[in-house]
Amino acid sequence: MAITSVHFLIFLCITFCVFYCCPVKYRWVALLVSSIYFYVMAGAVSFLPFIVLTSGVIWICARIIGRLYEEQDEKLKGSDLGRAEKKAIKEQYKKRAKRVLMLALVCCVGILCVTKFTRYAVRYLNLIAEAANGSAPFSAEWILVPLGISYYTFSTVGYILDVYWKRYTYEPEFLRFFLYAIYFPHIVQGPISRYNLLGQELKKELRFDSRRIVFGMELMLWGFFKKLVIADRLNIFVSAVYNGEEHAGSIYLVAMLFDAFQIYTDFSGYTDIVRGASQIFGVELEQNFNHPFFAKTVPEYWRRWHMTLGGWFKDYVYYPCTISHFMKRINKRTKKTLSERGGRFVTVVIPVFVTWVLTGLWHGTGKTYLAWGIYYSTLITISVAFQPEFEKVTKFLKIRTDTFSWQLFRMLRTFCCFMGGRLLTSPGGLRRTLMVIKNILLHLQAWCLTDGTLFTYGLDWPQLVLIAGSVLLLWGVSMLQERASVRELLEEQNIVFRWAVIFAAIFSILIFGIYGLGYDAAAFIYAQY
Amino acid sequence: MEKVVEILSSLKSGVDFHTAEGIVTNKIIDSIDIASLISMLEDEFDVEIGMEYMENENFDSAAAIWEMIEELAEE
């Protein structure tokens, strides 16, 4: 059941009726049942044991950790123990909690790694066997990759780490926790929700609120517009270019530009649809995008793009790596042997490198995503480590940094860096990436943009005009969103105008959307992770 | 507290850290600055900042950082 299908809309309507017919106390149960149904329909029944196992292990282990801390607090409370004895008790309990945590992490991250990396390993084993014997004896067909495994594993692992670090206490009811893991708006493609936010949202009294429901539907409409009108239309061109034979460099440049807008409208469109759907039930999901193309630096870009993934890696990989004993030892040594700045440089480089390589591997296995991780870790390291030099150069060149032109240049520079990252993964392998770069540099053939060749990739000129208009609208709305809530602005208008805008949105999706009988809307790009 | 302000100022110039609030929430300093900040605080005050303390509220102002340092020193 794809989220852009009629089935999903029917499912949403039925869930809406059942949900609001239930007494407030049991509405979360309606969400749980519909989430399980959605998970089975969007994936398969055979995926269900995986998510039950991961949630079960995490919930049990977090409960044990929580209980250990309660026991520790009981021992420490009111006793006349000295400082050293208290410290020893704390260390003893911390050790026990750590053992439980490690068990949970090995089990759940193990399942994730086996499901994600076995196919890649089998492919390489077959290559080796083929070179030796001439036959490929291993099969990877039996390996299941459960729907949303990266997303629910990350959400639940974040929860147990937070309990271990005493950021909040454990959830006593398994079914409540299971709803957090399998909640249908975020299971397929995120956002990767934090338990202290989504868990609490699902616990509050979910009452009928017509204003919020209309807001939710408006957000869904905007998401459908981004996905069906822009992303799926751009997908026609991008797929035709990247899946076909060699093309002129100028065509690749257009494909790179279209690809950047396609992935943004695809993923942010998805997020708007599910956040809107969730709002209909009174549950707020975390923001995942904050107009990333307005970012002026690469680090800022990653604070605006797939924000919940970036936040997850920052809190659960980058910080633990930064403050680990290993890093502290390296920091001290480099400070002695190099300099204060050298020490700080190493402190930044290693955790950034580890974080980005892992972020790359989260997106996909293989050399392509490893290169993608290295690409971003290099960009971020350069932007941070050489900041003083960049400032000196800017001063030397007498560049006025408070001007619009300078800010625009920085935005375009960041956008180009993003397109560079996409160039590593979109063409389908590093060899093809090199071929694209070669054609851009050596066979640009700019006349292909004007002699009609551009229209031979599935999009004629009216379609390209429609894309240009839609992107302009997207830009205008994004500019407005930077300043205020568009939905609130719309709410302040006369009812005739408000509903005219809503109907215009519905009709533009119906008329211009890429869909219809027999047409399978292109799968959301981030669902594969 | 003066020392904390001094360390923060060495990371980011042009900000009055005596009065600045929400320095993490408002992205005056980012996660990379925090990594350097931790290393400098640990060296200066001889404390160890664990993951339990890695929350925005503990780094959101010079006063909050100082409070955290005092708490760590007591442990």
When the pLDDT of each residue in chain A is averaged and rounded to a whole number, the result is 88
Same domain, A165 and A215: no
Of the pLDDT bands very low, low, confident and very high (cuts 50, 70, 90), residue A399 is confident
- At A251-298, the pLDDT tens digits run 999 999 999 999 999 999 999 999 999 999 999 999 999 999 999 999
Tell whether A498 lies on the interface with B, counting CB pairs under 8 A: no
For residues A370-394, average pLDDT:
87
- At B34-66, the pLDDT tens digits run 888 888 888 888 888 888 888 888 898 989 999
Interface of A with B in 80-109 (CB under 8 A): 87
Tell whether B1 lies on the interface with A, counting CB pairs under 8 A: no
A348 to chain B: closest CA residue: B32
Tell whether A314 lies on the interface with B, counting CB pairs under 8 A: yes
Tell whether A312 lies on the interface with B, counting CB pairs under 8 A: no
Mutate to test the interface with A, among B25, B32, B52 (most CBs of A within 10 A): B32
Same domain, A376 and A461: no
How many Å apart are CA A159 and CA A312, to the nearest integer? 11
How many Å apart are CA A521 and CA A445, to the nearest integer? 33
Contact in structure between A180 and A202 (CB atoms under 8 Å):
yes
| Domains of chain B, each with CATH number or no CATH | 2-74 (1.10.1200.10)
Same domain, A40 and A99: yes
Domain containing A455: what range? Answer: 211-245+257-286+450-529
Same domain, A16 and A124: yes
Spatial neighbors of A393 by CB under 8 A, at least 6 apart, are none
Out of A165, A322, A352, closest to residue B38 by CB: A322
Same domain, A40 and A59: yes
Residue A435 lies in a domain: no
How many Å apart are CA A164 and CA A220, to the nearest integer? 37
A167 to chain B: closest CA residue: B52
Same domain, A13 and A137: yes
Q: Which of A383, A170, A443, A471 is nearest to B30 (CA)?
A: A383
- At A319-339, the pLDDT tens digits run 999 888 888 888 778 777 777
- How far the first Cα of chain A sits from its last, in Å, is 17
Cβ pair A351:B35 closer than 8 A: yes
Cβ pair A323:B31 closer than 8 A: no
Residue A98 lies in a domain: yes
Tell whether A352 lies on the interface with B, counting CB pairs under 8 A: yes
* Per-residue pLDDT at A139 exceeds 80: no
